Structure 1
């Protein structure tokens, strides 16, 4: 007598993704329904810097989802963002940045315990897989320089508050306003055209 054939389901293999030029941990996380922290922990990454060609492991949930994807990468990312009520990446950055309004200023600070200007910008963008240096001048040189009339929400804006060169940075939020860490009042929103900041504006760049 023949024994019944029992089929055992093999465990699904963990999905992987190959890093392409322009990818960040934030973009990969959003494409695959996970977070930057999960990807860093799963792949033992001590930095958010990625190199094209790197292979990243995805969490099991994302692996299961991959089997059923039929949309293009761009359509899927738009769908993912829309499902979270986020229109685009810049809006996500600004919503995150605004969570820290009221946090006090601290010279050299780059944590919610206290931020200086460039430490705050660095902290916000690191959450989206973008590593920036902890100086305003260095951040100015890290992106694509744009004209003031080209500013879009999520771009970086730079000022000179004394001395030579660029020594203050913030994040443009639209309507000629920016969010930054003020040495007198901590994280706040100010107008770029007011009597103090208007004359001190020195330039802008695009990071996203």
Structure 2
């Protein structure tokens, strides 16, 4: 047994998780990650870590469902849309700009076909500039702080109001 030889159990669990993650991967994969000089194991570990972080962002946002909307709010007593994004990311040690437009500018663009939990969705709800942000949770759903008088809520990407206003997606982790 490897553990008896002094290898910490954490490494065994991590290696097992990476192995299983690799087994679940599709046979053909378009490589968009690091240059070929980086070992496939290192690349898989990074992808695995990013997927875990994105899921953690989504879960933390979901834990805030029902929190009141408060313009300028970025704490559990009340959030506006960009304050919600900032709060959740800060809990995980990720520094995020304050406003929706600043978050949009700072995010690495993500194609809609490559959305993953934790990614941000940006909307043009007022005019031609990005003015609203949400956290994608997977399966075509997102969490956001919509407006005064409402609470943090879950919506779908095919929502009649939000779908035509979707301006793009990005990632801050």
TM-score, normalised relative to structure 1: 0.59
Partner of 1:197: 162
Gaps of 5+ in 1: 1-66, 80-86
Structure 1 Cα separation of the partners of residues 96 and 78 of structure 2: 18
| Structure 1 pair 132–74 and aligned structure 2 pair: CA distance change class (3 A) | farther
Gaps of 5+ in 2: 1-5, 19-50
Question: Shift of residue 95 of structure 1?
Answer: 1.6
> Whose relative contact order is higher, 1 or 2, with alpha carbons under 8 Å and at least 6 apart?
2
Q: Which of 10, 14, 17 is the matching residue for 1:75? A: 14
Structure 1 Cα separation of the partners of residues 13 and 123 of structure 2: 35
Aligned pair 1:91/2:91, yes or no?
no
Q: Which of 43, 67, 70 is the matching residue for 1:103? A: 67
Contact 2:96 2:172 in 1 (8 A): no
Rg larger in structure: 1
Partner of 1:48: none
Question: Shift of residue 136 of structure 1?
Answer: 0.8
Partner of 1:152: 116
Aligned residue-pair number:
135
Partner of 2:130: 166
Structure 2 Cα separation of the partners of residues 137 and 149 of structure 1: 22
